[in-house]
Chains A and B, each alone.
Chain A
Amino acid sequence: DIVVTQSPDSLSVSLGERATINCKSSQSVLYSSDNKNYLAWYQQKPGQPPKLLIYWASTRESGVPDRFSGSGSGTDFTLTISGLQAEDVAVYYCQEYYSVPYTFGQGTKVEIK
């Protein structure tokens, strides 16, 4: 099974500043036949279900603000929030969907400093 590890577990960022969350998989999630990274990012606010932000490691879901961006390939990935807004306070999860079980990272809590 692929193990997915996020860092840090939590971070505090000032409004308007950049937040960076890292996600590392224990094996590559880059599928050679289509050259796609099978990695997604989700946002979960308190009392709500998760919401898809990014898929294929860097493709933004429709309606997601462009301050959210995903990057990386193979085993190392990053979610960047450029210009943190108050409404971005949430827990963020990465998930690999390269092979079952489709493991989630443990989550990163983002707060306002």
Chain B
Amino acid sequence: QVELVESGGGVVQSGRSLRLACAASGFTFSSYGMHWVRQAPGKGLEWVAVISSDGSDKYYADSVKGRFTISRDNSKDTLYLYMNSLRAEDTAMYYCAGGSGYCNSWGQGTLVTVSS
């Protein structure tokens, strides 16, 4: 069955960097676009970024553009999110999700807390 497992979250100081990873299994990873979606504590869902199946196309929310980078390694079935210049407002649960448009599979999420 499809499984997405995020890792790399934790507590980080404002202005620092963090790399999230999402290990995929149970499907042909290289055939699907992938997303990062985040959810601040007690708040709704916020779409963060999407990457095409071959990694050639990447799009970002305005709130993270220029600070976050989405990438993937299809040889390792892994999705990444590189987060730089972190701010308090980036504190959230970060989910990876599979799908080129709608998200039909989701991981359990990894929590990122940015402290000042």
Contact = CB atoms under 8 A, between A and B. Distances in A.
Contacts of A93: 44-45
B45 to A, nearest CB: 4
B101 A101 contact: no
Nearest to A62: B104
B59 interface: yes
A106 B44 CA distance: 6
Contacts of A42: 45, 103
B62 A104 contact: no
Nearest to B104: A52
Interface string B80-93: 00000000000000
Contacts of A1: 62
Contacts of B103: 40, 42, 50, 52, 95
A104 B47 contact: yes
Interface residues of B, number: 22
A49 B102 contact: no
A102 B108 contact: no
Contact of B95 (A49, A52, A102): A49
Interface of A: 1, 38, 40, 42, 44, 49-52, 55, 61, 91, 93, 95, 97, 100-107
Given A42-B45, A42-B103, A55-B102, 11 more contacts: A40-B103, A49-B95, A50-B45, A50-B106, A52-B103, A55-B101, A91-B44, A93-B44, A101-B47, A102-B50, A104-B44
